[in-house]
Structure 1
Amino acid sequence: MTVTDHSAADARPATRPPRAGRSNGQWKVDGTTPLNGNEEWKQQDGGLNVRERIEQVYSREGFASIPPQDLSGRFRWWGLYTQRKPGIDGGRTAQLDDTELSDEYFMLRVRLDGGALTLEQLRTVAELSRDFARGTADISDRQNIQYHWIRVEDVPEIWRRLEAVGLQTTEACGDTPRVILGSPLAGIAKDEILDPTPVIDEILQRYVGDPELANLPRKFKSAITGHPSLDVVHEINDISLVGVRHPELGAGYDLWVGGGLSTSPRLAERLGVFVAPDEAAEVWLGVISIFRDYGYRRLRNKARLKFLLAEWGPKRFREVLETEYLGRALPDGPPPAPPTGPGDHVGVHEQKDGRFYVGAAPTVGRISADVLLGLTDLLEAAGSQRVRLTPHQKLVVLDVAADRVEALAAGLETLGLTTDPSPFRRNTMACTGIEFCKLAIVETKATAATAIRELEQRLADVAPQLDTPITLNVNGCPNSCARIQVADIGLKGQLVTIDGEQTPGFQVHLGGGLASVDRDEAGLGRTVRGLKVTADDLPDYVERVVRTFLSQRESGESFSTWTRRADEGALQ
């Protein structure tokens, strides 16, 4: 019953003679002959094809019936990863293989392009958490909802319920076009340059689930915004379309390519072109096709678009895009203006139609079925039919009448979703961590939540002085799902040796930032030689460095600017 799809590979000649030197596995340069096991199984049977087996075989025969290549590979094309087996400490993460680390339960990612949920969809998401995920639900920094404790037996019913309300898990993971980040204020903000919703919808409808784009070298991350707060972390995506106003051509997009973090961080670069709204989906297709055809496939740790951009540079990338994929030149365009304010949209703000949007902060993105069900009730009471998730692990309720804002905000507070968070709660993010993630070395969510509570008490006396945000991003391993290199204080999980004993802790990155969190200039953080902190000592360290910053800062100086000039002793 296996259906093999070679359409994308067959479109390029497998017999192309290799170039001089070692092949990088670039289809348009080296041919499509696979150079490693991962590329072999993707060509033998594409990831999209596993859905039929999940529905017809594995969900009926159980976890033990799933062969390894589907379990650890193709399942990802449908948003499914096995979660970490309980009781395996961080010291064993690198010692065990995937089968030893994996439990017989799954993380399931629901892709929410643009972070958008209707009231009906929100209710379905809440009920699925309650019925199948032991009440778990996290808002990720990719605007997705992530469940845990999912059984393969329940996946077909979960899909049925999601798809009945227009949601899906298609290509939520895997070597595919992942969820498209979009402005949470699309279509409703007073100061919006343009609404990216039509572009997001066109890409979603035409290309997500297309076999031609379902075998990429690795994942492909997209972001599109028309809001002047630059609210989609555009500097760290493979492609970003950022709203600008051209002096002659009007509103459109500035094109950025090649961003990504993980163990080899690189910020995206502008190609210097102006993209008209009706050309945006075509340009997106051109960029992802370049990645498919020219991306490196020999080594997976070099298989992101950022490595190709590093070799080519933006000038050559633009030339290839225009000549080989679009067949025309794009006009030069302006860069986006500096951000007008924070991109997390927390608080109460007026929409262009006179109603209000209300942004609320959970603690490091962790919510639950009860919270989601309570949120559903609050939306109904407030007369809202829409909520959106943000790339900062927040949520925004749209279309609230003025006379219902106060009641909504009070109701959100009772759910643990505050519209007026402390600086520490507002600006702290955390990845999944060792609780469920097989790559993690340390715990993150509870560690970050504890740090927030401690810092709210310890630094209450200086909180009014924190007039610029200090972001604290907590990651359980080196892969930077929580964007540690672009945080003011980024924490990379590792084991720290204290008095000869290993204990969970973090390597500290300082002074990173993005334009989309109210930075004048984006940049990667610095590491200070030997600067590590244990998980237990994290609140002590953050309190110490924040107080030092406030005592040494110059007028109006941000934390990231201070860290670049401070001596290492002040950063310890």
Structure 2
Amino acid sequence: MSTPASRHHKRPRGEGQWALGYREPLNKNEENKKNDDGLNVRQRIIDIYSKRGFDSIDPADLRGRMRWYGLYTQRKPGIDGGKTAVLAPEELDDRYFMLRVRIDGGQLDVRQLRAIADVSNLYGRGTADLTDRQNIQLHWVEIESVPDIWERLESVGLSTTEACGDTPRVILGCPLAGIDAEETIDATEQIREINERFIGNPEFSNLPRKFKSALSGCVAHCTVHEINDVAFVGVVNEDGEQGYDLWVGGGLSTNPMLGRRLGVFVSPERAADVFGGVIGIFRDYGYRRLRHRARLKFLVGDWGVERFREVLETEYLKEPLPDGPAPQEPRGGRRDHVGVFPQKDGNFYVGFAPKVGRLDGDRLHLIADLAERYGSDRIRTTTEQKMVILDVTPDRVDALVAELEANDLQVNPSTFRRHTMACTGIEYCKLAIVETKATAMQLIDELERRLPTFEEPLTINVNGCPNSCARIQVADIGLKGQLVVDENGEQVEGFQIHLGGSLGVSSGFGRKVRGLKTTAAALPDYVERVVTHYDTQKKDGESFADWVQRADEADLK
């Protein structure tokens, strides 16, 4: 039995940090990763599981290592949101998978888009969702199909490697990299080098949790650098050299934190080494005891930027980085690249808005056909669940726009169509509590009908659970799915409401109003009401987020 004195002299509890000697796994996830690298599951899928079927899959692979290749079991149909946190994983699992195709920098060519479309139609019941991290997700995938899917994707240079899991996931990049006359730097080559060096590399395939990254010189700051684990933001230093400002420790989920500047200037040729240093710190010093504290943001929060920079320079890079300037403020208003705009080569790019990122295999084929017909081999995905066709000659722009819009791919969408995002939701996701995609689509339709003249930028982000895949804390109107009680005392699908979040000039997580919730059925009425209050009360040039900070609480309800 310990005495009071001995209790005071206990060693501090370890966080499972490898660099401090804590190598023994402290939870089931860490034990699974120590038992076998997630990258090794690929051969078992090819040799065993695809041949013997779903029932042959080792549970540690099924709910763990298969994520290293972009595979999650999807939610069994018919299980309501009240059971999400109650049922065991094997009761929630369907015998089908979500498959995430990673699209680094959002860069696709026509052959690649057609390959994804073919896989969608052949093996995914036609499903295809654009994510807010530039990937495309397919559903209804059977384990027997996975080797052929990989063969089809890899034959055109695509991959699902480390699209999920405790790994360096897709690298965000501006869809206009290399073509925007205003961009600070073209990050294409740095994204390629980082991908080559670190993705699928066993040295970095066992991280404490997922690792999200972005590299961009976009003047609209479209890669949302403020909420990535590591972000390289284009700057020009006092000597006129192009390079990057380094940010670390951003992330949302249930404990949101904004990234922080290290205050260093990273030249393009050093970007991959610096990326390796940051991810190395995360691997070696990241917390591995509790999953909910295992993101890089918690380490940065505890260390502070000065210590993080010192460890990066002395232990990992072995030399100092020069001080550097902060990025310019983002170009006004919208960060999504929707519309028709000139490229620096005299051609045009055409950005368009599928509804909340929902597409299908046939529509992907159509987009590839249109791009090719109008002279382009380059298609891009965005961080707002949108797409862009590059390299359209001036004389073909109008015809392309007309064909896109005739197929409900809006180039000139309403504010509500343009700025509403939704995560996967209860339709497929085992973590979700409510439906999201259909709810968001119905909301767009209702708002277009009720508020046809409203044109201000207004982001509405719809999330099926508290984990913030759809970035609810940084939306003008963020909707966090939960079960709520309606006017009849019945428990129904609904949302907790976050208001006035933003990224950019005044990044922040908005204003919380106690008890502010709505049922899914009453959501259009609520949004119409609060948007109308803003529209009638706003000052010249005042954003929704700024208005929320000064609005009477009654006008927010």
Give the shorter-chain TM-score range: over 0.9
Q: CA deviation at 1:328?
A: 1.1
Instruction: Tell me the percent identity.
Output: 63
Spell out, residue by residue over 1:52-86, the C-alpha distance to the aligned partner (whole angstroms, 9 max, x if none): 00000000000010011000000000000000000
SS at match of 1:527: coil
**Residue number among 151, 154, 160 corresponding to 2:145 in the alignment:** 154
CA contact (8 A) 1:23 1:30 kept: no
Partner of 1:423: 415
Q: CA deviation at 1:249?
A: 5.1
Counterpart Cα distance in 2 of 1:313 and 1:63: 46
Partner of 2:473: 485
Q: CA deviation at 1:566?
A: 1.2
Spell out, residue by residue over 1:518-546, the C-alpha distance to the aligned partner (whole angstroms, 9 max, x if none): xx211112221011011111110000001
Partner of 2:5: none
Amino acid at match of 1:98: P
**Residue number among 477, 502, 510 corresponding to 1:513 in the alignment:** 502
Counterpart Cα distance in 2 of 1:457 and 1:30: 61
SS at match of 1:105: strand
Partner of 2:397: 405
Q: CA deviation at 1:415?
A: 2.3
Spell out, residue by residue over 1:126-172, the C-alpha distance to the aligned partner (whole angstroms, 9 max, x if none): 11111110000000000000000000000000000000000000000
Is 523-532 or 293-302 further displaced after alignment? Answer: 523-532
Counterpart Cα distance in 2 of 1:413 and 1:196: 31
* 1:456 equivalenced with 2:448 (yes/no): yes
- Equivalent residue runs for 1:123-134 within 5 Å: 123-134=114-125
* 1:500 equivalenced with 2:500 (yes/no): no
Counterpart Cα distance in 2 of 1:146 and 1:547: 35
Amino acid at match of 1:494: Q
* 1:551 equivalenced with 2:551 (yes/no): no
Partner of 2:310: 319
Counterpart Cα distance in 2 of 1:97 and 1:564: 42
- Equivalent residue runs for 1:100-499 within 5 Å: 100-248=91-239, 250-341=241-332, 342-460=334-452, 462-463=453-454, 466-467=455-456, 469-498=457-486, 499=488
Counterpart Cα distance in 1 of 2:28 and 2:85: 20
In the TM superposition, structure 1's runs of 4+ consecutive aligned residues that sit over 4 Å from their partners are none
Amino acid at match of 2:227: I
Counterpart Cα distance in 2 of 1:70 and 1:166: 25
| TM-score normalised by length of structure 1 | 0.95
Counterpart Cα distance in 2 of 1:63 and 1:257: 39
Q: Which runs of 5+ in 1 are unaligned?
A: 1-18
| Coordinate RMSD, CA, aligned | 1.1
* 1:568 equivalenced with 2:556 (yes/no): no
Partner of 2:6: none
SS at match of 1:364: helix
* 1:523 equivalenced with 2:508 (yes/no): yes
CA contact (8 A) 2:14 2:22 kept: no
CA contact (8 A) 1:273 1:333 kept: yes
Spell out, residue by residue over 1:275-312, the C-alpha distance to the aligned partner (whole angstroms, 9 max, x if none): 00100010000000000000000000000000001100
Aligned length: 547
Q: CA deviation at 1:379?
A: 1.0
Counterpart Cα distance in 1 of 2:541 and 2:346: 33
Counterpart Cα distance in 1 of 2:25 and 2:372: 53
Amino acid at match of 2:184: I
Is 103-112 or 543-552 further displaced after alignment? Answer: 543-552
Amino acid at match of 1:111: R
Spell out, residue by residue over 1:248-290, the C-alpha distance to the aligned partner (whole angstroms, 9 max, x if none): 1511000000000000000101011110010001000000000
Q: CA deviation at 1:36?
A: 1.4
Counterpart Cα distance in 2 of 1:223 and 1:416: 30
Amino acid at match of 1:84: R
Spell out, residue by residue over 1:463-496, the C-alpha distance to the aligned partner (whole angstroms, 9 max, x if none): 1xx33x1100000000000000000000000000
Amino acid at match of 2:171: I
- Equivalent residue runs for 1:63-102 within 5 Å: 63-102=54-93
Counterpart Cα distance in 1 of 2:540 and 2:162: 47
Counterpart Cα distance in 2 of 1:381 and 1:112: 23
Q: CA deviation at 1:193?
A: 1.1
Counterpart Cα distance in 1 of 2:94 and 2:512: 35
Counterpart Cα distance in 2 of 1:487 and 1:312: 28
Q: Which runs of 5+ in 2 are unaligned?
A: 1-9
SS at match of 1:526: coil
Q: CA deviation at 1:414?
A: 2.3
